Amino acid sequence: MRDPLALLEAAGTAAITAAFGRPFDPVVRRSQREQFGDFQINGAMAIAKEVGRPPREVAQTIVDHLSLGDAVEKVEVAGPGFVNVTLRPSWLGAAVEAAASDARLGVAVVGAPETVVVDYSSPNVAKEMHVGHLRSTVIGDALVRVLGYLGHQVVRQNHLGDWGTQFGMLIEHLVDQGLDGGGIADLNALYQEASQRFKDDESFAERARKRVVALQGGDPSTLARWDALVAESQRHFEMGYARLGVTLEPGDVRGESFYNSLLDETVAELESLGLLRMDEGALCAFPPGFTGRDGTPLPLIVRKSDGGYGYAATDLAAIRYRVRELRATRIAYVVDARQGHHFAMLFAVAQQAGWLEGVRAEHVAFGTILGPDGRPFRTREGDTVKLADLLSEAVERAAAVVADKSPELSDAEQAAVARAVGIGGVKYFDLFNDRVKDYVFDWDRMLAKEGNTAPYLQYAHARIRSMLRRAEAEGCVPAGPVVVEHPAERALVLALLGFNDAVHTTAQHLEPHRLCTYVFEVASEFTAFYESCPVLRAESDALRSSRLLVAALTARVLATGLDLLGIETPERM
Ligand code: ARG
């Protein structure tokens, strides 16, 4: 095993089990200071309480049972019961060589692959994508990349908002305008005009309601217009996905309309299980544990009093479909945190219905993008910010950064780099914070060349690539044995060997910021290494080859890590 953290966790657990007859968590951490070794096994304090023995004695018992072979140079008990572990430089060097000769850079595939359904992006037809859908799209796409890389079977589901009563007024408005749905320049305007007329014009509203009935009844000419409208919206979404470089494809769309034919049987099943009852004319589920302030049970409305099905019914049909037909063992909903209550109730009802046996359903919640005033991000005119405009501005601003930093590139190269930096900047800024938190949209911070930003990481990568090209031109080849002598060299090597753990924890928690923290650590450690350890001018040929190998692995870890986040790494910047 070449992931030192995994190695110590396995050895620590084995030692604890042998010593205490139970597999307590060894609590392995990277040491924050050199004098505490490379890693610490911190489980002794908690185990001491459980087994009723002094912590230092427990720590010593763990040390006595540890079997780490040639991996370890020094193991010692310190402080109240920490176990400090220092790894052998030769073992670290060999581990780096193994990672460098591995196409997966030391990242193991999972032993038991799951079928993971990831519901993300999911914009609404006849509305342009806005910044809220940006978050779902960017976070969801990073997660499917990570899960797929680890060998899981990933099923992308774009739960398009393509059904509901609003389509009555939209279609009726199109009819009045003599449009069939194609070539709509401004989807938002269409939506706004239609809803304005719906409010102001009673005869229009009446026709719109009839149109809903026609749509639900499958009237061919109404369905044809609805189809055209959905197709036109999808064309807009596809353009957005292409610019963002996300992996969603038309085949991943399974919109709300898809579940229409499954609603009756879904509800019938819930009814037969006795999970539904009438409440003020509406058919509702009352999952346990959900009560209002006055203690009355809260309903999940399955069928409205007018007989129509809504968002919740569709999600019930969808979760059932995902488990039964798609065979999901894990379902991740990448949706705004403000829908947390909806998903908590949905999962509770699905649980009651027995649909989640052996299945994990998770709401991958994210916060709101705020403007500088701390309120939801809007244009100066107070409108929602359209994704397409936002991305254009990002690339434009990035072009200025690139012209300043990389004047030697050709115009075409500069344009390509500006796209990578602009789009990458927006995406990374969305990913590097804990996703449940709100964040303030800030052009300067997201495109800064220093700090935890995409441009910093992209430039760090490009600088290493350029050094490697220079080395190649001088006939120097990266090669082992890898020397791990200088503290900065050691710190970089330890960071590189943490890639496996970073990708796996990102997948476990469905938290892309963990991978961001990791790539930033690698880039920072490389910067420190490069300042104190000359590479091309190393003291000996052997040392130069070794450092080139470490640098080459660094570039690959950065490129792969950023690619898993959906961010491009230009070769030359
Ligand atoms: N279309 C919804 C919205 O824009 C998001 C759908 C999320 N997915 C789901 N299965 N409910 O808010």
Q: State in Å: Cα 359 to ligand 1 middle.
A: 21
Q: How many angstroms separate the CA atoms of 537 and 541, rounded?
A: 9
Confidence (pLDDT) at 405: 86
Q: Which residue type, as a one-letter code, is found at position 369?
A: I
Q: State in Å: Cα 335 to ligand 1 middle.
A: 7
Q: Which residue type, as a one-letter code, is found at position 473?
A: A
- Asked if residues 315 and 346 have their Cβ atoms less than 8 Å apart, the reply is yes
160 Cα nearest atom in ligand 1: 1
Q: State in Å: Cα 260 to ligand 1 middle.
A: 16
Closest CA to 501 of 40, 38, 105: 105
Domain span(s) for CATH 1.10.730.10 in the chain: 454-564
161 Cα nearest atom in ligand 1: 1
Using CA positions, which residue lies closest to atom 8 of ligand 1?
159
Confidence (pLDDT) at 185: 64
Q: How many angstroms separate the CA atoms of 101 and 164, rounded?
A: 54
Q: State in Å: Cα 128 to ligand 1 middle.
A: 14
Q: Residue 45 is encoded by which pair of tokens?
A: 């304090």
Q: State in Å: Cα 528 to ligand 1 middle.
A: 44
Confidence (pLDDT) at 184: 63
What's CA 246's distance to the chain center, in Å?
12
pLDDT by residue, tens only, the chain of 573 residues = 689 999 999 999 999 999 999 999 999 999 988 889 999 999 999 999 999 999 999 999 999 999 998 999 999 999 999 999 999 999 999 999 999 999 999 999 999 999 999 999 999 998 878 888 899 999 999 999 999 999 999 999 999 999 988 899 999 998 888 876 666 667 778 888 899 999 999 999 999 999 988 988 889 999 999 998 999 899 989 999 999 999 999 999 999 999 999 999 999 999 999 999 999 999 999 999 999 999 999 999 999 988 889 899 999 999 999 999 999 999 999 999 999 999 999 999 999 999 999 999 999 999 999 998 888 888 877 788 888 899 999 999 999 989 988 889 999 999 999 999 999 999 999 999 999 999 999 999 999 999 999 999 999 999 999 999 999 999 999 999 999 999 999 999 999 999 999 999 999 999 999 999 999 999 999 999 999 999 999 999 999 999 999 999 999 999 999 999 999 999 999
Using CA positions, which residue lies closest to atom 6 of ligand 1?
122
Domain span(s) for CATH 3.30.1360.70 in the chain: 4-87
Using CA positions, which residue lies closest to atom 11 of ligand 1?
315
Q: How many other CB atoms are there within 10 angstroms of residue 261's CB atom?
A: 9
Q: Which of 339, 342, 384 to mutate to test the pocket of ligand 1 (most atoms within 8 A of CB)?
A: 339
Q: Which of 129, 316, 335 to mutate to test the pocket of ligand 1 (most atoms within 8 A of CB)?
A: 335
342 Cα nearest atom in ligand 1: 11
What is the SS3 assignment for 445? helix
Which residues contact ligand 1 via a Cβ below 6 A? 119, 122, 124, 159, 161, 315, 318, 333, 335
Confidence (pLDDT) at 430: 97
Using CA positions, which residue lies closest to atom 4 of ligand 1?
123
Using CA positions, which residue lies closest to atom 9 of ligand 1?
159
CATH of 4-87, one of 3.40.190.10, 3.40.50.2000, 3.30.1360.70, 3.40.630.30: 3.30.1360.70
Q: State in Å: Cα 125 to ligand 1 middle.
A: 11
318 Cα nearest atom in ligand 1: 10
Q: State in Å: Cα 385 to ligand 1 middle.
A: 19
Block residue for tokens 């976070």:
139
Q: Which of 124, 125, 155, 159 to mutate to test the pocket of ligand 1 (most atoms within 8 A of CB)?
A: 159
Confidence (pLDDT) at 183: 65
Provide the sign of the torsion angle of the four alpha carbons 35, 40, 42, 48, taken in this order. negative
CATH class of 454-564: mainly alpha
**DSSP line for 15-82:** HHHHHHSS-----EEE-SSGGG-SEEE-THHHHHHHHTS-HHHHHHHHHHH---GGGEEEEEEETTTE
336 Cα nearest atom in ligand 1: 12
Q: Quote helix, strand, coil % in the chain, to nearest 5.
A: 55, 10, 30
335 Cα nearest atom in ligand 1: 7
Q: Residue 364 is encoded by which pair of tokens?
A: 């991958």
What's CA 31's distance to the chain center, in Å?
27
Between the alpha carbon of residue 293 and those of residues 67, 296, 297, 298, the distances in Å are 56, 7, 10, 10
Q: State in Å: Cα 169 to ligand 1 middle.
A: 21
Q: Which residues pair with 360 in a beta bridge?
A: 330
Q: How many angstroms separate the CA atoms of 348 and 570, rounded?
A: 46
